[in-house]
Amino acid sequence: MADTAPASSSTLTITQPDDWHLHFRDGDMLAMTVPATARVFKRAIVMPNLAPPVTTVAQAEAYRQRILAHVPEGMDFEPLMALYLTQDTSVQDVREAAQNPNIIGYKLYPAGATTNSSAGVRAVDAMGPVLETMQEFGVPLLVHGEVTEPEIDIFDREKVFIDRYLAPITQRYSRLKVILEHITTKDAVEFVTEAHELVAATLTPQHLLMNRNDLLVGGVHVHNYCLPVLKRRTHQEALQQAAISGNKKFFLGTDSAPHVQAKKETACGCAGCFSAFTAIELYAEAFAQLDALDKLEGFASHFGADFYGRPRNTKKIQLQRDIWQAPATVTHNGETWVPYWAGRDLQWQVVMAGA
């Protein structure tokens, strides 16, 4: 039976989806980023790489309240908070996190791997007591899976991390839930597929819709630059097949990551694709291109909730087949952002959300 039940060839109705990986940032930006996600998604896992990072339950609860203050009236949205794993995270920290229903898990950033990751883990091998406690108390480990040694080619960093660190972790802690975030390679697909049942992965719209040609051909396209970086077409095709496979280990996580235009279009570049304004429409675009819209609901609305042990949503959203253009820019408080897929056509648009 198909996962998705379209009402007709021009409409598509699915269970309200969740975003199992995104960045809201903080401060004034929340007034822009939170409504963009809450318009469609019921829940979202909020990344903790603020400056300073969110490392304690108290900090996460305070951040959660700042997020909730920007949920538009009438929208039912639940932020789920990830804590930032550091070399100084203690066993007691994990026990406290396990008692709080608003904490979804710990995020492992290798130090220096991405935006605001300088406080990340410097020695994965030394995290044994913390990982053992996470396994004991059922606290998931969310992983940015890249090594950061400068001698490792940037296109190989995900595979090296899997071989060097993630495979041993999943073997040693076989009762620990591990989510390999925003996977980018065929190697990651194969690893997750073959690993035990408590290993899963999130997939972003940009890694489904693009490959490294879209980043580098005809000049560097900075708004397609993210980390892990886009890979070659063969890897993109492996991700696409994983997304539409119906395998419950693969589910939606946008990794939406806003950077103001003035900083994105500089020598820095700033890694991140800001997809929140068109997120579910971008996934519909990818699944439509693969003639697999019947697989969208499981990927977007069911598998992540099942993996994290959360109830599936009961409300529905409806998309309509209608060619429209993603916004070219978004302006907030006098600053401008260029969202992912800016100014390009999309085939499907949300016409009813959370009903």
> Residue 332 pLDDT more than 50?
yes
Within a domain: 254: yes
Task: Give me the CATH number covering residue 258.
Answer: 3.20.20.140
pTM for the model stands at: 0.94
Residue 248 annotated as lining a ligand binding site = no
Each residue's pLDDT tens digit, 142-185? 999 999 889 999 999 999 999 999 999 999 999 999 999 999 99
Confidence tier at 8 by pLDDT (50, 70, 90): low
Residue 21 annotated as lining a ligand binding site = yes
Residue 249 annotated as lining a ligand binding site = no
- State the pLDDT at residue 79: 98
The tokens of 126 are what? 């030394």
Following CA atoms 213, 219, 220, 221 in sequence, which dihedral angle do they give, to the nearest 10 degrees? -80
Domain that holds residue 176: 16-309
What number is the average pLDDT over the span 33-57? 97
Share of the chain above pLDDT 70, in %: 95
Within a domain: 7: no
Give all strands of the β-sheet with 141-143 in edge-to-edge order: 19-22, 43-46, 78-84, 103-108, 141-143, 178-180, 199-203, 250-252
Does residue 291 carry a catalytic annotation?
A: no
Each residue's pLDDT tens digit, 20-42? 999 999 999 999 999 999 999 99
Share of the chain above pLDDT 90, in %: 89
- Residue of 255, 306, 322, 345 marked catalytic: 255
What span, in angstroms and rounded, lies between the C-alpha atoms of 198 and 177? 5
- Are 13 and 316 in contact by the 8 Å Cβ rule? The answer is yes
Confidence tier at 7 by pLDDT (50, 70, 90): very low
Residue 156 annotated as lining a ligand binding site = no
Within a domain: 128: yes
> Residue 240 pLDDT more than 90?
yes
Which residue intervals of the chain are DSSP H helices? 30-38, 57-68, 91-98, 128-137, 157-161, 167-172, 186-194, 205-209, 213-216, 233-243, 261-264, 279-289, 296-297, 303-308
Within a domain: 125: yes
Q: Comparing 45 with 9, which gets the higher pLDDT?
A: 45
Confidence tier at 3 by pLDDT (50, 70, 90): very low
Within a domain: 350: no
Give the distance, in angstroms, between the CA of residue 33 and the centroid of all CA atoms in the same chain: 14
Within a domain: 171: yes
Within a domain: 28: yes
Each residue's pLDDT tens digit, 109-147? 987 666 655 667 878 888 999 999 999 999 999 999 999
- State the pLDDT at residue 117: 59
Confidence tier at 6 by pLDDT (50, 70, 90): very low
Within a domain: 234: yes
Our count of domains for the chain comes to 1
